[in-house]
Amino acid sequence: CLGRGFVCRHLSDTVTGVALLHHQSVVARVVRQKDLSTYQMKANVDRDLPLSEIREFYSMQVTAGDRSVTYPVLFMKVDHCTSLPLPSDKAYRTADDNNLISEMCMGVTCQESDRSWCIVPKDRCSNYLFGCPAAHKTVDNPGDVQCVEALCTELLDQGTCCSLVTTTTTNTGTTFTTTFHFPEYKKDDPVVYKGKKAVVYARGVDAANGENHVDIVLEAP
């Protein structure tokens, strides 16, 4: 709120307004200054307001009985944080749920002063809280391993934060694990690898090259 008016930052061509009216006798409406179109605001009901300019002026009129107050409202379409160059060890701030403020620069064009808000350190695997699949464990020294973005996610970071557990082969009938790239196989499919019978027990994404892979259990020689 600036004095007796409002500045609203946004990223899209339409904004949704809602009037918080605490009494049935209070009436609110907004008027678009560009064409004087009027939008009646019902209490606690979302109302879409069209925008076609980088800076769009409205006025908000609030009436209670015989008293009426008008507030100027400026809607300003601001730049997105992703327009700033991103260092390899940093990430863009992650939006909290639907809070797009996390993704906004302060003005129409992002400036150097927006960096401290928009760009943050990448998260670390020590904060990866989704567990690892069968026959995998959290990587060694997870606090030294970066996730892809500002917050670790299961989808993007499982292949980075989880590593395959390998069992040593013996001649007593135990099994060992390995990895090979046959993405058409699925769990429990029988396969032959280097002349040996095997069974697929897990699938994932190879952290090194992003290819789909399957992990297999081989019969001991």
Q: What local confidence, expressed as pLDDT, does residue 168 receive?
A: 43
Q: How far is CA 182 from CA 189, 194, 217, in A?
A: 11, 13, 14
Sign of the CA dihedral with 10 first, then 16, 21, and 22 last: negative
Residue 109 pLDDT > 90: yes
Q: Specify the 3-state DSSP secondary structure of 121.
A: strand
- Residue 27: what pLDDT? 84
Buried b (16+ CB within 10 A) or exposed e, 170-205: eeeeeeebeeeeeeebeeeeebeeeeeebebbbebb
pLDDT at position 173: 43
Q: What is the mean pLDDT of the chain?
A: 76
For residue 21, give Cα distances in angstroms to 48, 66, 81, 82, 218: 17, 16, 34, 36, 68
pLDDT in tens, 23-45: 667 888 899 999 999 998 877 77
Q: Is residue 217 a contact partner of residue 177, using CB atoms and an 8 Å limit?
A: yes
**Mean pLDDT computed over 123-131:** 94
- Tens of pLDDT, residue by residue over 43-95, are 777 888 888 889 999 998 888 888 888 989 999 999 999 999 999 999 998 76
- On the question of pLDDT at 176 being above 70, the answer is no
DSSP SS3 for 30: strand
Say how far apart CA 139 and CA 143 lie, in whole Å: 9
Contact at 8 Å (CB) between 68 and 62?
yes
User: To which residue do tokens 């989880």 refer?
Assistant: 162
Residues contacting 189, CB < 8 A, separation 6+: 199, 200
Under DSSP, the state recorded for 99 is B
Task: Supply φ then ψ for residue 11, to 5 degrees.
Answer: -120, -10
